[in-house]
Structure 1
Amino acid sequence: MLTKTIYLIRHGETEFNRRGVVQGSGIDSDLNEIGFLQAKAFFDAYQHIEFDKIYTSKLRRTVQSVQEFINLGIPYEQFEGLNEISWGEKEGKVPNYLEDENYLEIIANWGNGKTDIPAAPGGETPEQVAARQKIAFEKIIERSDEKMILVAMHGRAIRILLTHLLDLPLSEMDSFSHSNLCLYRLSYDYQTQKFSLDIANDTAHLSELLVK
């Protein structure tokens, strides 16, 4: 039976993550020192996996998170469709109390099925993100010769992606937790054309960093 195994990770920590600054797709930040240590820890734990291909978003923080795998000579490709959701006018800002309240209202609306509401003025809706992700993932799945792949993405984008890969309502995206450099592992069965979730939000590879 032909299957594809997908190692799906969120990028490592950036200074924007550490400071609570909204990033989104419009902020092309670098990993900070902790983020690079997280990337190294993930590489050390999974360098034995024979990945056929690496996919990342167009943003530097995802490429930096898998750079050591790329350095091994594993082919990789960037898709803008894998970028983080655009937070519009909120990007680059530290939320104040009112903005936090607004954020919680947006999340509540999304959870109530109002996924056509943008993240912020000038930003994307979850439905728009899902639409561009589906185009990118259709290309990835078509490549049946790539049986083991590594995909580096972003927090909100991963939540959105998992809903449509697992045939769940988009409103359930927040049922998926994520941490910087966490791992989700999925399998795709070409016969049934279905995804299954094997590992969720796994950070065991970061245990030594957490102890330190």
Structure 2
Amino acid sequence: MTQKTIYLIRHGETDYNRRGIVQGSGVDSDLNDMGRAQAQAFFQAYQHVPFSKIYISGLKRTYQTAEPFIELGLPYEKLTGLNEISWGTMEGKAPGNLDNEYYRKLIEAWESGNTTQSTDEGESPEQVATRQREAINVILSHPEEEIVLVAMHGRAMRILLCWITELPLAKMDQFEHSNLCLYKLQYDYDSAVFTIELANDTAHLLSLAMA
């Protein structure tokens, strides 16, 4: 029975995260000091794992999150299919009261099953899932890579976790996430089934909370 273990992480904190500003795929921000500390804490906790390869999105906050592992000489590959959802006209803006109403209506539409509705000049969850399937197919096409690290983004993770577990995308908000959380996944090649072993795990960040 051939299996692949996927350590799926969200990138570390950026100043945009801290200030509540929407990033999406159109804002290519850097990790802030806390984000870099989170990346280092994750590295300290998981540097013993024999990762075959690292997969990151096309945005530098995922590269910077995985950078301690990359500096060990581990091979990595950028897959833009792992990018965050495009929030379109909302990117780079701190939501005001009118914007909050926009997001509320959008999330309600998605939760009611209208996951083909796109953000204003951006993407729909269905469009994100389509490009994610291509990226995941690339990752799964290498069964010899038994353990991989995948760094991506919050909303995109919610969408991914829905469709790989065969849930409708309307259920995406049940998958919680925080900066540099870990979802540990197993993929069985014989049954073509994903299982979630760890969800939104942040035990590796406890040392930061105590500092």
Q: What band does the TM-score fall into relative to the shorter chain?
A: over 0.9
Aligned residues: 211
Query: What is the distance in 2 between the residues matched to 1:104 and 1:168?
Result: 22
**Alignment correspondent of 2:160:** 161
Equivalent residue number for residue 63 of structure 1: 63
Taking structure 1 as the reference length, what is the TM-score of the superposition?
Answer: 0.98
Q: Which blocks of at least 5 consecutive residues in structure 1 are unaligned?
A: none
Matches within 5 A, 1:105-144: 105-119=105-119, 121-144=120-143
Moved beyond 3 Å, runs of 4+: none
For residues 140 and 170 of structure 2, what CA distance do their matches in structure 1 show? 24
Give 3-state SS (helix, strand or coil) of 2:5's partner: strand
Residue deviations 1:27-74, cap 9 Å, x none? 000000000000000000000000000000000000000101001111
Q: Give identity over the alignment, percent.
A: 57
- What is the CA–CA distance in structure 1 between the aligned matches of 2:89 and 2:181, rounded to whole Å? 28
Other-structure match for 1:186: 185
2:100 & 2:42 partners in 1: Cα distance?
32
Query: What residue in structure 2 maps to residue 148 of structure 1?
Result: 147
SS of equivalent residue, structure 2 residue 156: helix
- State the distance in 2 between where 1:56 and 1:116 align: 25
**Offset of residue 187 of structure 1:** 0.1
Structure 2 residue 94 is matched with structure 1 residue 97: no
SS at match of 2:190: coil
**Could you say what the CA RMSD is over the residues aligned between the two structures, in angstroms?**
0.6
Q: How big is each residue's C-alpha offset from its partner over 1:143-170, in whole Å with a ceiling of 9 and x where there is no partner?
A: 1100000000000000000011111101
> Partners of 1:101 and 1:180 in 2: how far apart?
25
SS at match of 2:122: coil
In the TM superposition, what is the alpha-carbon distance from 1:105 to its structure 2 partner?
1.2
Which residue in the other structure is 1:40 paired with?
40
Supply the distance in 1 between the matched residues of 2:169 and 2:47 (Cα, whole angstroms): 33
Q: Provide TM-score, normalisation by structure 2.
A: 0.99
How far off is 1:211 after superposition? 2.2
SS of equivalent to 2:64:
helix
Structure 2 equivalent of residue 13 of structure 1: 13
